[in-house]
């Protein structure tokens, strides 16, 4: 099967890796890909925003399946452009991708369909004073979110009122994050533990992937600013069978039913960020694709044919395939450039990749790397995700951190407490 994967990060490397190790023979194209994907497929120069160029490539190369990794091309309608040419594609329509592309839309959608989430109000750029008055009336802690896409950095948890006022001023007043924050959602703070639930749906049938838990903050103990994700593990012990069933009954099925009822049937990957509260699961946010770095732990847990699973999703035959999973656990630790998620330097030489990759049950997924004549250099904020599987979470984390210890580059930064909540739960 000839497959085109859209994207360039660790998520796309993990997708390509899963396809490469599938029982179904594949020829992989990754656009634009990265140094890691180049070793298992062919990186191609293709702009996801140029829908005509993507369709031409698909036609000229007899591509059987397209998998869209990042959110922006989905919000921009790339899946629609491909479906218009009858190309099987993994990814929702632009209308359905509003669940991630507009937090204002998703919050109003949840309100319409009785889906549990935090209480909220939305404010436009011209309503700065109203927004400030609202946070002063609500107090802290409170959460201020850019409504649009912000690379995972648009949600600001404000512990104090001055922090909340500053966040509102930054986003609505000063235009930080640009058009992504032309509308801001201000919502109540939810107490609980976060978890990620992944749903594959072909528009009628759906299946669940392993649950996961991400680590968004840059610092240990969940401190510092939000990032795109500093590590993850699967499954998440907080997501017991009971909590999963509650999430299915109260969130997943009402979401899929509601989107269909509103004329936007959802076909693709629905990633629901949940807060597990004393009242049960509540939605933190929706995402219209696989997470990064959750993909690097969820896909390695699948023991079924991932190519056939994704193709069934894209062709409306999900009911014909089974999802099977490995026993044990999976985890990854992200190695980032010094200064991330702020400014950072590129071009730091990376050593030890072969040593880490040679370890049992360890995979190194590339994100911000560049191959040079002398080896590998850093080229992004999140550089690598060192992933591992094991019989339990402790063994898995030991393997992942052993892989991290093999790798070095100047200023390398990583969290040393990935999986701490899972370990505490035993």
- Using an 8 Å Cβ cutoff, are 62 and 2 in contact? yes
- Using an 8 Å Cβ cutoff, are 120 and 106 in contact? no
What's the CA dihedral at 74, 75, 79, 85 to 10 degrees?
-150
pLDDT for residue 150: 85
Please say if the pLDDT value at position 230 is more than 80. Answer: yes
Q: Cis ω on the peptide bond leading into residue 235 (within 30° of 0)?
A: yes
- Using an 8 Å Cβ cutoff, are 378 and 369 in contact? yes
Label residue 226 by pLDDT band (50, 70, 90). confident
CA–CA distance, 181 with 99 (Å, rounded to integer): 16
- pTM score, two decimals? 0.95
CA 51 to chain centre: 23
Label residue 170 by pLDDT band (50, 70, 90). very high
Average pLDDT over the chain, rounded to an integer: 96
Structure tokens that stand for 409 in this block: 């580059």
pLDDT for residue 289: 97
Please say if the pLDDT value at position 257 is more than 80. Answer: yes
Please say if the pLDDT value at position 118 is more than 90. Answer: yes
Segment 318-331, tens digit of pLDDT: 999 989 999 999 99
Percent of the chain with pLDDT over 90: 93
CA–CA distance, 16 with 36 (Å, rounded to integer): 9
CA–CA distance, 403 with 306 (Å, rounded to integer): 25
CA 201 to chain centre: 17
pLDDT for residue 338: 97
By DSSP bridging, strand 142-146 and strand 120-124 are unpaired
Label residue 425 by pLDDT band (50, 70, 90). confident
DSSP bridge partners of 145: 155, 185
Per-residue DSSP letters for 33-53? --TTGGGTSEE----TT-HHH
- Using an 8 Å Cβ cutoff, are 123 and 147 in contact? no
In angstroms, how far is the first alpha carbon of the chain from the final one?
A: 41
- Using an 8 Å Cβ cutoff, are 226 and 217 in contact? yes
With residue 59 as reference, give the H or E element that holds it. helix 51-60
pLDDT for residue 153: 75
In order of 118, 133, 166, the CA distances from 163 in angstroms are: 19, 14, 5
- What lies within 8 Å, CB to CB, of 174 at 6+ separation is none
pLDDT for residue 132: 95
Segment 141-166, tens digit of pLDDT: 999 999 999 877 788 999 999 999 99
In order of 14, 27, 228, 289, the CA distances from 184 in angstroms are: 33, 43, 20, 22
Q: Domains (ranges, CATH) in the chain?
A: 2-93 (3.40.50.20), 119-188 (3.30.1490.20), 192-320 (3.30.470.20), 329-424 (3.90.600.10)
- For 231, how many CA atoms within 13 A lie in the half-sphere containing its CB? 31
Please say if the pLDDT value at position 426 is more than 80. Answer: no
The residue among 35, 24, 191 whose CA lies nearest residue 12 is 35
Looking at residue 65, the DSSP 8-state letter turns out to be: E
CA–CA distance, 243 with 42 (Å, rounded to integer): 41
The residue among 309, 252, 313, 258 whose CA lies nearest residue 286 is 252
Looking at residue 221, the DSSP 8-state letter turns out to be: T
Which range is least confidently modeled, 15-24, 219-228, 259-268? 219-228
In order of 158, 200, 426, the CA distances from 292 in angstroms are: 24, 16, 25
CA atoms 235, 276, 151, 160: torsion sign: negative
DSSP bridge partners of 252: none
Please say if the pLDDT value at position 211 is more than 80. Answer: yes
Query: What is the mean pLDDT of the segment spanning 380-389?
Result: 97
Percent of the chain as helix, strand, coil, to the nearest 5: 35, 30, 35
Looking at residue 120, the DSSP 8-state letter turns out to be: E
Segment 335-365, tens digit of pLDDT: 999 999 999 999 999 999 999 999 999 999 9
CA–CA distance, 332 with 382 (Å, rounded to integer): 13
Please say if the pLDDT value at position 419 is more than 90. Answer: yes
């Amino acid at each position: 099967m000839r497959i085109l994967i859209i994207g360039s990060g660790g998520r796309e490397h993990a997708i390509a890796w899963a396809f490469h190790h599938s029982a179904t023979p594949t020829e992989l194209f990754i656009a634009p890909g990265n140094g890691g994907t180049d070793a298992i497929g062919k990186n191609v120069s293709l702009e996801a925003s140029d829908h005509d160029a993507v369709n031409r490539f698909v036609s000229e190369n007899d591509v059987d399946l397209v998998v869209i990794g990042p959110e922006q091309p989905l919000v921009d309608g790339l899946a629609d452009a491909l479906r218009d040419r009858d190309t099987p594609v993994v990814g929702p329509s632009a209308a359905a991708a509003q669940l991630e592309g507009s937090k204002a839309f998703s919050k109003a959608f949840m309100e319409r369909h009785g889906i549990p989430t935090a209480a909220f109000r939305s404010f436009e750029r011209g309503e700065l004073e109203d927004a400030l008055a609202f946070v002063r009336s609500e107090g802290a802690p409170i959460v201020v979110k850019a409504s649009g896409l912000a690379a995972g950095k648009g949600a600001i948890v404000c512990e104090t009122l001055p922090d909340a006022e500053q966040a509102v001023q930054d986003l609505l007043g000063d235009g930080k994050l640009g058009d992504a924050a032309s509308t801001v959602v201000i919502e109540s703070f939810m107490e609980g533990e976060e978890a990620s639930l992944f749903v594959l749906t072909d528009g009628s049938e759906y299946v669940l992937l392993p649950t996961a838990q991400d680590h968004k903050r840059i610092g240990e103990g969940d401190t510092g600013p939000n990032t795109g994700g500093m590590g993850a593990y699967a499954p998440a012990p907080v997501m017991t069978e009971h909590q999963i069933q509650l999430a299915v009954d109260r969130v997943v099925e009402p979401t899929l039913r509601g989107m269909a009822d509103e004329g936007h049937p959802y076909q693709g990957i629905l990633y629901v960020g949940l807060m597990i509260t004393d009242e049960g699961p509540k939605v933190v946010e929706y995402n219209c694709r696989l997470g990064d770095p959750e993909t690097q732990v969820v896909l390695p847990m699948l023991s079924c044919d991932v190519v056939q699973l994704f193709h069934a999703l894209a062709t409306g035959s999900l009911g014909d395939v089974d999802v099977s999973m490995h026993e044990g656990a999976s985890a990854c630790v992200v190695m980032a450039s010094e200064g991330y998620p702020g400014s950072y330097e590129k071009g730091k030489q990376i050593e030890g990749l072969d040593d880490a990759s040679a370890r049992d049950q360890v995979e190194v997924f590339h994100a911000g790397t560049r191959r040079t004549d002398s080896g590998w250099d850093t080229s992004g904020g999140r550089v690598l995700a060192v992933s591992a599987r094991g019989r339990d979470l402790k063994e898995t984390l030991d393997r992942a951190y052993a892989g991290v210890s093999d790798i070095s580059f100047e200023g390398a930064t990583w969290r040393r407490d990935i999986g701490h909540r899972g370990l505490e739960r035993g």
